[in-house]
Amino acid sequence: MPVDAKRANLPPLSLHVPEPQFRPGDEVDFSDVAVPPAGEQPRPDTAADPGTFHELAYTLVRVLDEDGNAVGPWNPRLDADTLRTMLRNMALVRAFDERMFRAQRQGKTSFYMKCTGEEAVSVAATSALAADDMCFPSYRQQGILITRGYPLIEMMNQIYSNKGDKLQGKQLPIMYSARDHGFFSISGNLTTQFPQAVGWAMASAAKGDTRISATWCGEGSTAEGDFHSALTFATVYKAPVILNVVNNQWAISSFSGFAGAEATTFAARAIGYGIAGLRVDGNDPLAVYAATQWAAERARTNQGPTLIEHFTYRAEGHSTSDDPSAYRSAQEWSSWPLGDPIKRLKDHLIGLGEWDEDRQAAQDQELAEMVRKTQKDAEKNGILGHGMHQKFETMFEGVYEEMPWHLKEQMQQMLDEDDAAGHPGPKR
Amino acid sequence: MNMIQAINSAMDVMMDRDPAVVVMGEDVGYFGGVFRATAGLQEKYGKTRVFDTPITECGIIGVAIGMGAYGLRPVPEIQFADYIYPALDQLVSEAARLRYRSAGEFIAPLTVRSPFGGGIFGGQTHSQSPEGIFTHVSGLKTVIPATPYDAKGLLISCIEDNDPVIFFEPKRIYNGPFSGHYDAPARNWSNHPGGEVPTGYYRIPLGKAAVTRQGAAVTILTYGTMVHVVAQTVEETGIDAEIIDLRTLMPLDIDTILESVKKTGRCMIVHEATRTQGFGAELSAVVQERCFYHLEAPIERVTGFDTPYPHSLEWAYFPGPVRIRLALEKILKD
Ligand SMILES: Cc1ncc(C[n+]2csc(CCOP(=O)(O)OP(=O)(O)O)c2C)c(N)n1
């Protein structure tokens, strides 16, 4: 049948393909991003019925107002030491990112991913968890490790895949694993950690434990089927889990519209599953802390899971392999209405009389120096590209608990190749 | 015991021995499974150890991996092997790689049970044999029993194993061995030695094949339902074949295979799965590489055809006695 033969009386259908507001070179105007005043969002009881979260799934929970004051029912009323620790950890994440990004540019490693602008999402959230709660992160929550005191040198060794790397050079840089710090092995496959986190939480509940789990994914990753599976399992078994969606507006070059953001919020996804949903100013460390603390209490009292959308902005390229100027306006970050999480916490502490610009500058310097010195130490273990740092046999170890015959055979083949090549690797 | 009872008994024994063992899947809880493999377990061990799940295979395996990371020993069921594909990412990218990518910090000690194979008029989506997909994945083990005795002993070993295992259950022989003569009366396990199953704990080691018939003329490598179809055909033809039930496809019992082929000089491979890039291709390559100078004839593969599994033409598709006999005649020709 010819396309227009039969139903010429009907208007033609049209396909909607989302398009971000701004492209390279565009003047950026974010005035239509709804930013409700801080302090005006209600804080329900942690046992509240999931059916009552409609408003909180569409607004933004905010604590820090324009003048840096902590206001409203979500104010977690943290003492100055805790605030300063959070500020320091966020600043350390940023200093670390700067240094490692540069290391990649200097050819010392193959790959790196920053979380600039999103430091609160991991640091403040982790600060509100117990040290033995289990985290199932994506690749952009290095702040969890830093908040939990994981040694920077271990992170760097992993990034360099050097001889100090506990993962034996098996994983792409930043795909950390730190069991002792409650940090699950990062996978390259997006959103697989979501049902895993739910399963961990279910196991904890089934065993009558008191620990909960938390997981993170980007807003782009919510489109994966695992996201749906995880939310279904979480609600069915009332799993003690916190499901964090980091809405940083971008998934590589795709704006959040391609994950469905034009039609609704990511927190609103929770409503259809019967899960408590909170939408939070992700650049407000106090709001992130308060929401996590609330969700943790809800989970710990067997009230079930919480989905938290952290509304934030990916200030830098997706990774060292990405050039964001090819798809978005460079002005976006400077125009972002929710500002910079580090600056906002700093201003708050200064407002409280608990901090000042000099101390901030001194701390920045101290952290940069510490990262630089640690980097020097890490580089003593080698950098990527300066030879192969792992014993060749390690390639075959850990595929299975015990090495089967065919891997032993292949290992021997490789060792013979090593002999033939004049032993480029470290001594066996 | 029939194979269902043996599998049920394996889970019962392991749940009793180890509080970390949990059973999960679609309809496995209160109802006891669509094949009754988990019957009675929920009543005995409670709902937090044996539970029904939502219908999401990627969720079932993903959740099981998280439970494994916590320290449990999950035994998830995928209702039919034909429905394991939604879970492939969690199996291939996660369970199989977890130990490796975390350098041993985290492991995935799962045993994924799933009924597989044809011969039951299951049509396209209740008959498939996808084992070749899993043997291709480093980090996974793949196990397929052919008798109730083996099913129980192997399943116990799988549950105790610290690596993720795909345990495919040939559902055509759940209730009795299958001769391949689809119009013959059904048999049950009561007259078969493999149907004698101890009620308590025992193990059959993974990675060990069973020589189910000694012979000198040709080695037949097979597993699952086809072990019985091959045995029947060998008996009918009177050919002195040596039949090897592989039991574990990965890791493979290479020694038993090589010893036999070097003795007989001929090798035939029989599986239900489609031919191209099926597990038979790997077997053939391994034998060819290692027994080349002992081989007196080309290696034969008797398999399902490279089509989706048909419904009405099932018995034309199935690698039954005629296909096996013709292949035997061919391989023994000179
Ligand atoms: C299953 C899968 N598909 C695609 C990719 C490639 N990929 C890596 S990161 C990424 C974007 C993810 O964006 P988002 O979830 O918004 O997180 P963000 O990077 O913004 O933190 C994509 C498509 C992948 N790693 N895994």
Average pLDDT over residues A201-229: 98
Is ligand 1 within 6 A of the CB of residue A310?
A: no
How much is the pTM? 0.97
Q: How far apart are CA B84 and CA B115, in angstroms?
A: 10
Q: Which residue in B177, B185, B180 sits closest to B148, CA to CA?
A: B177
Q: Which residue in B196, B198, B210 sits closest to B248, CA to CA?
A: B210
Crossing angle between the packed helical segments A225-236 and A193-206, to the nearest 10 degrees: 20
- Top residue of B50, B92, B102, B290 to mutate, by most chain A CBs within 10 Å, is B102
Contact of B96 with B138, CB cutoff 8 Å: yes
Q: Which two tokens stand for residue B105?
A: 């910090």
Q: Which residue in B62, B69, B2, B60 sits closest to B28, CA to CA?
A: B60
Q: Which residue in A373, B14, B329 sits closest to B23, CA to CA?
A: B14
Is the link from the previous residue into B19 a cis peptide, with omega within 30 of 0? no
Phi, psi of A241 (to 5 degrees): -140, 145
Which residue from A179, A194, A399 is facing B106, i.e. has the nearest CB?
Answer: A179
Contact of A76 with A290, CB cutoff 8 Å: yes
Q: Which two tokens stand for residue B310?
A: 């048909």
Residue type, B240: D
Residue type, B234: V
The DSSP H or E segment spanning B288 is helix B279-291
Tell me the CB-side half-sphere exposure of residue B258, using CA atoms within 13 A.
12
Which residue from B59, B97, B254 is facing A230, i.e. has the nearest CB?
Answer: B59
Q: How far apart are CA A187 and CA A195, in angstroms?
A: 13
Question: For A309-340, how does the pLDDT look when each residue is reduced to its tens digit (9 = 90+)?
Answer: 999 999 999 999 999 999 999 999 999 999 99
Q: How far apart are CA A91 and CA A123, in angstroms?
A: 10
Q: How far apart are CA A303 and CA B170, in angstroms?
A: 42
Which residue from B64, B66, B103 is facing A197, i.e. has the nearest CB?
Answer: B66
Q: Is B237 exposed, middle or buried (0-12, 13-18, 19+ CB in 10 A)?
A: middle
pLDDT for res A28: 98
> Which B residues, 102 through 121, put their C-beta within 8 Å of a C-beta on chain A?
102-107
Crossing angle between the packed helical segments A357-380 and A152-160, to the nearest 10 degrees: 50
Tell me the CB-side half-sphere exposure of residue A166, using CA atoms within 13 A.
20
In the DSSP assignment, the letter for residue B184 is: S
Do B102 and A177 lie within an 8 Å CB cutoff?
yes
DSSP B38-54: TTTHHHHH-TTTEEE--
Q: Is A15 exposed, middle or buried (0-12, 13-18, 19+ CB in 10 A)?
A: exposed
pLDDT for res A3: 57
Q: How far apart are CA B232 and CA B212, in angstroms?
A: 12
Q: Which residue in B331, B180, B333 sits closest to B261, CA to CA?
A: B331
Is ligand 1 within 6 A of the CB of residue A251?
A: yes
- Top residue of A132, A186, A229 to mutate, by most chain B CBs within 10 Å, is A229
* Residue A426: pLDDT band with limits 50, 70, 90: confident
B18 CB near a chain A CB, below 8 Å? no
- Nearest-atom index, ligand 1, CA of A139: 21
pLDDT for res A424: 79
The DSSP H or E segment spanning A332 is helix A332-335
Q: Which two tokens stand for residue A365?
A: 């310097």
Q: Indicate which residue of B126, B169, B228, B272 is catalytic.
A: B126
Q: Which two tokens stand for residue A123?
A: 């640091």
B77 given a catalytic annotation: no
Q: How far apart are CA B137 and CA B92, in angstroms?
A: 7
Question: For A110-168, how does the pLDDT look when each residue is reduced to its tens digit (9 = 90+)?
Answer: 999 999 999 999 999 999 999 999 999 999 999 999 999 999 999 999 999 999 999 99
Q: How far apart are CA A381 and CA A308, in angstroms?
A: 40
Residue of the CA atom closest to atom 12 of ligand 1: A251
Residues of A in contact with B90 (CB under 8 A): 192, 195, 226
Q: Which residue in A383, A385, A372 sits closest to A160, CA to CA?
A: A383
Task: Give residue B188 CA to ligand 1 midpoint distance, Å.
Answer: 52
In the DSSP assignment, the letter for residue A73 is: T
From first to last of its 334 residues, what are the pLDDT tens digits of chain B?
A: 999 999 999 999 999 999 999 999 999 999 999 999 999 999 999 999 999 999 999 999 999 999 999 999 999 999 999 999 999 999 999 999 999 999 999 999 999 999 999 999 999 999 999 999 999 999 999 999 999 999 999 999 999 999 999 999 999 999 999 999 999 999 999 999 999 999 999 999 999 999 999 999 999 999 999 999 999 999 999 999 999 999 999 999 999 999 999 999 999 999 999 999 999 999 999 999 999 999 999 999 999 999 999 999 999 999 999 999 999 999 999 7
Tell me the C-alpha to C-alpha distance, in Å, between residue A186 and each of A287, B28, B106, B170. 26, 31, 11, 35
Q: How far apart are CA B48 and CA A205, in angstroms?
A: 9
DSSP B216-244: SSEEEEE-THHHHHHHHHHHHHT--EEEE
Average pLDDT over residues A347-357: 98
Ligand 1, from A97, A187, A244, A252: best to mutate by most atoms within 8 Å of Cβ? A252
DSSP B143-168: E--SSHHHHHHHHHHHHH-SS-EEEE
For residue A181, give every residue at least 6 positions away whose Cβ sits within 8 Å of its Cβ, in sequence order, or none.
A144, A145, A148, A149, A150
Task: Kindly tell me if the per-residue pLDDT of A109 is higher than 60.
Answer: yes
Q: How far apart are CA B225 and CA B271, in angstroms?
A: 9
DSSP B92-106: IIIITTHHHHTTTSS
Residues of B in contact with A203 (CB under 8 A): 22, 66-67, 70-72
Is ligand 1 within 6 A of the CB of residue A11?
A: no
What domains appear along chain A, each with residue ranges and CATH number? 50-319+331-379 (3.40.50.970), 392-428 (no CATH)
Distance in angstroms between the alpha carbons of the first and the last residue of chain A: 71
Residue of A nearest to B63 (CA): A199
Query: In the A/B pair of chains, how many CB contacts fall below 8 A?
Result: 146
The total number of residues shown for chain B amounts to: 334
Contact of A54 with A41, CB cutoff 8 Å: no
Task: Give residue A141 CA to ligand 1 midpoint distance, Å.
Answer: 14
* Residue A8: pLDDT band with limits 50, 70, 90: confident
Task: Kindly tell me if the per-residue pLDDT of A4 is higher than 90.
Answer: no
> Which B residues, 262 through 291, put their C-beta within 8 Å of a C-beta on chain A?
none
pLDDT for res A2: 57
Task: Kindly tell me if the per-residue pLDDT of A277 is higher than 80.
Answer: yes
Count of CB atoms within 10 A of residue A73's CB? 13
ipTM > 0.95, yes or no: yes
- Top residue of A196, A209, A407 to mutate, by most chain B CBs within 10 Å, is A196
